Amino acid sequence: MEGELLLLSSMIFLLQGACGCPEKCLCHPSSNSVDCSHQGLDEVPPDLPPDTLTLLLQDNQISQLPALAFRTVPQLKILNLSNNSLSTLAPEAFHGLWDLEVLNLTQNSLLSLESRIFQFLPQLRELDLSSNNISHLPKSLGKLWENLTVFAVQHNQLQHLSRELLESMPGVRLLLLHSNLWKCNCHLLGLKLWLEKFIYEGGITDGVVCGSPDTWKGKNLLKIPHELYQPCPPPLPPHLELASSQAQHHSSEHGELHKSPEDHSLGPHDLSECGVKPKPKPVNLRHAVATVVITGVVCGIVCLMMLAAAIYGCTYAAITAQYHGRPSPPTTESGKTGGKELFESLPA
Ligand SMILES: *[C@@H]1O[C@H](CO)[C@@H](O)[C@H](O)[C@H]1NC(C)=O
Ligand SMILES: *[C@@H]1O[C@H](CO)[C@@H](O)[C@H](O)[C@H]1NC(C)=O
Ligand SMILES: *[C@@H]1O[C@H](CO)[C@@H](O)[C@H](O)[C@H]1NC(C)=O
Ligand SMILES: *[C@@H]1O[C@H](CO)[C@@H](O)[C@H](O)[C@H]1NC(C)=O
Ligand SMILES: *[C@@H]1O[C@H](CO)[C@@H](O)[C@H](O)[C@H]1NC(C)=O
């Protein structure tokens, strides 16, 4: 009797667990989807059915996600968090969602993302980060995303997107990038090259319009000719930078180092302006070029003098031979005239 009662009560408990629907949500058991959209929620409801596959949380006021925010719904495949107030995501917020395929975070207030925030979402197919305030994306947002086909970051404040990040999503087919603050300097060349290959291989993108510098503002990154991009200068080690400044400003008073624009453009802190116009060659390079030229000229003169000496020797030998009345081979004859000409044309 007691056992039966226990069984009954545990069955009721299980039924409640499976069928219970959070107060402000609509549950559709047939499709395992839960719709909690537009309910003024400020957090993820704690009592979600554990077998939920689709969770709609859009149009609420959720402002942050703690670690393991979705641990009660580990089978989730589609998660819509669009139009909330998310500004911070705990680095482990989405951990445990091994099956998540679609994550929609559009229309929030995200400013940046942790580099490993999406690390444990191996099945992700679509990631929508559009219409946030993201100004920087790390070089990696997770492991290799084999299955990611849609990556959307349009309407943010991005100036740059690293090639490494794009290469971590080899299967991406749709890439939305427009309405950002793209800074079309040498650092964006990697993106340009990557996009050209992407489009050639059938990928779809919506265009990258430059926000700066002024020369390219409003221009499409893909339409700026390659020739106008200089490769980014490698950052100089500090002691070399100092040495070249000292060399150039040797005569400047008080030993205070006023940096000329030329030096400045080489400094690691100013790579941002590593721009699109050719720069004057650095001092060290000019020295090196001059040294090579001078060495070449000196070597050339020495070689010519040695050649002349050899020809003179041969000619002398031939004349001596003729003087002694011996028949001379024809090669010596031609060598003689050619040698004489060369010898005479040389300044003393
Ligand atoms: C975003 O959600 C709010 C309610 O939180 C709603 O009033 C507004 O219409 C939604 N905006 C869009 C574009 O759906
Ligand atoms: C919620 O997000 C999903 C997946 O991104 C999307 O298919 C769906 O249209 C969104 N729902 C609404 C009501 O916007
Ligand atoms: C994300 O949701 C918005 C509106 O809720 C929708 O317009 C958009 O298509 C969704 N993104 C994806 C990738 O499904
Ligand atoms: C990509 O999707 C396929 C088919 O849905 C799946 O078998 C595979 O495990 C997924 N890749 C990864 C890395 O999970
Ligand atoms: C986000 O950007 C929008 C428009 O670009 C701006 O109105 C809003 O103040 C920004 N929010 C934050 C938190 O920076």
Q: Which tens digit of pLDDT belongs to each residue from 192-243?
A: 999 999 999 999 999 899 998 888 899 999 888 877 666 677 766 655 545 4
Question: Alpha-carbon distance 188 to 327, whole Å?
Answer: 76
Task: Find the 147 Cα to ligand 4 centroid distance in Å.
Answer: 6
Q: What is the amino acid identity at position 276?
A: V
pLDDT band at 315 (very low <50, low <70, confident <90, very high): low
Task: Find the 123 Cα to ligand 4 centroid distance in Å.
Answer: 6
Instruction: Tell me the best of 36, 37, 38, 58 to mutate to test the pocket of ligand 2, counting ligand atoms within 8 Å of each CB and taking the most.
Output: 58
Task: Find the 141 Cα to ligand 1 centroid distance in Å.
Answer: 28
Question: Is 248 domain-assigned?
Answer: no
- Whole-number average pLDDT of the chain: 75
- The more confident residue out of 71 and 347 is 71
DSSP result, 293-319 = HHHHHHHHHHHHHHHHHHHHHHHHHHH
Question: Is 97 domain-assigned?
Answer: yes
230, 264, 296: which is the final residue of a domain?
Answer: 230
Give the number of other CB atoms < 10 A from CB of residue 16.
10
Whether 99 and 148 map to the same domain: the answer is: no
Question: Alpha-carbon distance 119 to 204, whole Å?
Answer: 25
Instruction: Tell me the best of 82, 130, 132 to mutate to test the pocket of ligand 3, counting ligand atoms within 8 Å of each CB and taking the most.
Output: 82
168, 198, 230: which is the final residue of a domain?
Answer: 230
Rg (CA), the chain: 37
Whether 101 and 155 map to the same domain: the answer is: no
Question: What's the CATH code of the domain at 154?
Answer: 3.80.10.10
Count: domains in the chain? 2
Instruction: Tell me the best of 102, 106, 175 to mutate to test the pocket of ligand 3, counting ligand atoms within 8 Å of each CB and taking the most.
Output: 106
Pick the residue whose CA is nearest to atom 4 on ligand 5. Answer: 133
Whether 97 and 163 map to the same domain: the answer is: no
Question: Is 345 domain-assigned?
Answer: no
Q: Is 59 in the pocket of ligand 1 (CB under 6 A)?
A: yes
Whether 156 and 222 map to the same domain: the answer is: yes
Q: Is the pLDDT of residue 53 over 90?
A: yes
Pair of tokens at residue 9 = 């009560």
Q: Is 126 in the pocket of ligand 3 (CB under 6 A)?
A: yes
Pick the residue whose CA is nearest to atom 8 on ligand 2. Answer: 80
Q: Which tens digit of pLDDT belongs to each residue from 132-166?
A: 999 999 888 777 788 999 999 999 999 999 888 99
Task: Find the 84 Cα to ligand 1 centroid distance in Å.
Answer: 8
Task: Find the 173 Cα to ligand 3 centroid distance in Å.
Answer: 16
Domain containing 75: what range?
27-109
Task: Find the 201 Cα to ligand 4 centroid distance in Å.
Answer: 22
Three-class SS state of 64 = strand
Chain length of the chain: 348
The pTM of the full predicted model, rounded to 2 decimals, is 0.69
Instruction: Tell me the best of 55, 80, 106 to mutate to test the pocket of ligand 2, counting ligand atoms within 8 Å of each CB and taking the most.
Output: 80
Pick the residue whose CA is nearest to atom 2 on ligand 5. Answer: 133
Average the pLDDT over each of 64-68, 126-130, 271-275 and give the range with the smallest value. Answer: 271-275
Task: Find the 120 Cα to ligand 4 centroid distance in Å.
Answer: 13
Question: Is 151 domain-assigned?
Answer: yes
Whether 103 and 153 map to the same domain: the answer is: no
204, 230, 256: which is the final residue of a domain?
Answer: 230
| Exposed/middle/buried for residue 132 (C-beta within 10 Å: 0-12, 13-18, 19+) | buried
Question: Is 31 domain-assigned?
Answer: yes
Pick the residue whose CA is nearest to atom 3 on ligand 4. Answer: 147
Q: Which tens digit of pLDDT belongs to each residue from 86-130?
A: 998 998 999 999 999 999 999 999 998 888 888 889 899 999 999
Nearest partner of 106 among 150, 160, 154, 148, judged by Cα:
154
Whether 105 and 162 map to the same domain: the answer is: no
Question: Is 155 domain-assigned?
Answer: yes
Question: Is 14 domain-assigned?
Answer: no
Q: Which atom of ligand 2 approaches the CA of 78 most closely?
A: 4
pLDDT band at 247 (very low <50, low <70, confident <90, very high): very low
Q: Is 128 in the pocket of ligand 3 (CB under 6 A)?
A: yes
